[in-house]
């Protein structure tokens, strides 16, 4: 019997909601491959996820910052999922609730073995805030790839978007990691195909036959 597995190309339009969980323990078994979306409240994180999956109501969005209050899991295909984490930073809720969100997000990022990469959403007008830096620091420490989406890119001209990417690349040099940066707009459909291609590549690194991929040694440096 051949060990080769033939798989269909990943179609993000087939993504479906699986569950919402208040903490790590309430999530499904820690297997397969997951890509987490993290971002400051009101950075367009849930809107970006919806645009990538071409579904307007997959992830809940709101004009009120802090709408994502649970860890939301979406299955793209068997063994491959997207995860919408609670927004960090500003939210018009009690401080105790903010701490609970931060705790659940921190536990997920530090302890979830299925995590294969992180998508960080930043408003193109206000990139690289303090909490963004913390997430990037963690991704480097965990040796995980990070994709940065500069959201709301429709607010800028194409030349201004290019400059924003160039400036952010320069600012990220202090971290010493390699990052993919994409100007993104859910409204104008900017950067969606580029983003899907990156996520597909990350998922394709996961081989469902060997479920222990990355569990012990993690990703190796070249």
**Taking the domains of the chain in order of start, what are their residue ranges?**
12-60+68-205
pLDDT for residue 68 is more than 80: no
Average pLDDT, the chain: 84
pLDDT for residue 107 is more than 80: yes
pLDDT for residue 220 is more than 70: no
**9-13, 98-102, 173-177, 182-186: the lowest-pLDDT one:** 98-102
* Cβ-contact 24, 112 below 8 angstroms: yes
Confidence of residue 197 (pLDDT cuts 50, 70, 90): very high
pLDDT for residue 81 is more than 90: yes
**1-15, 108-122, 169-183: the lowest-pLDDT one:** 1-15
- Per-residue pLDDT at 96: 74
Task: Please indicate whether residue 116 or residue 61 has the higher confidence score (pLDDT).
Answer: 116
Alpha carbons 125 and 123: distance in angstroms, whole number: 5
Task: Please indicate whether residue 63 or residue 13 has the higher confidence score (pLDDT).
Answer: 13
Confidence of residue 202 (pLDDT cuts 50, 70, 90): very high
* Cβ-contact 147, 203 below 8 angstroms: no
pLDDT for residue 61 is more than 80: no
* Cβ-contact 14, 76 below 8 angstroms: yes
Alpha carbons 210 and 144: distance in angstroms, whole number: 19
- Residue 81: name the closest of 106, 49, 124, 105 by CA: 49
Residues with Cβ within 8 Å of residue 36, at least 6 apart in sequence: 82, 83, 85, 108, 109, 112, 115, 117, 118, 119
pTM: 0.85
Mean pLDDT of 2-14: 69
pLDDT for residue 2 is more than 70: no
The pLDDT > 90 percentage for the chain reads 58
**52-56, 127-131, 176-180: the lowest-pLDDT one:** 176-180
| Fold classification of 12-60+68-205 (topology level) | Rossmann fold (3.40.50)
């Amino acid at each position: 019997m051949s060990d080769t597995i033939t798989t269909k190309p990943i179609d993000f339009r087939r993504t479906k909601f699986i569950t919402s969980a208040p903490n790590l323990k309430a999530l499904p078994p820690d297997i397969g491959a997951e890509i987490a979306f993290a971002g400051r409240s009101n950075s367009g994180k849930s809107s970006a996820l919806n645009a990538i999956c071409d579904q307007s109501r997959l992830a809940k969005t709101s004009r009120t910052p802090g709408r994502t209050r649970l860890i939301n899991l979406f299955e793209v295909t068997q063994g491959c999922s997207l995860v919408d984490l609670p927004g960090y930073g500003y939210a018009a809720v009690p401080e105790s609730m903010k701490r609970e969100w931060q705790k659940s997000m921190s536990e997920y990022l530090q302890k979830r073995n299925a995590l294969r990469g992180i998508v960080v959403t930043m408003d193109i007008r206000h990139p690289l805030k303090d909490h963004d830096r913390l997430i990037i620091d963690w991704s480097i420490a965990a040796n995980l790839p990070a994709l940065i989406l500069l959201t709301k890119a429709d607010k800028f001209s194409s030349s201004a978007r290019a400059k924003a990417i160039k400036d952010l690349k320069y600012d990220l040099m202090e971290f010493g990691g390699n990052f993919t940066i994409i100007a993104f707009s859910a409204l104008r459909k900017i950067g969606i195909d580029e983003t899907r291609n990156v996520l597909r590549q990350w998922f394709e690194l996961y081989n469902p036959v060997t479920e222990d991929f990355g569990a012990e040694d993690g990703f190796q440096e070249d």
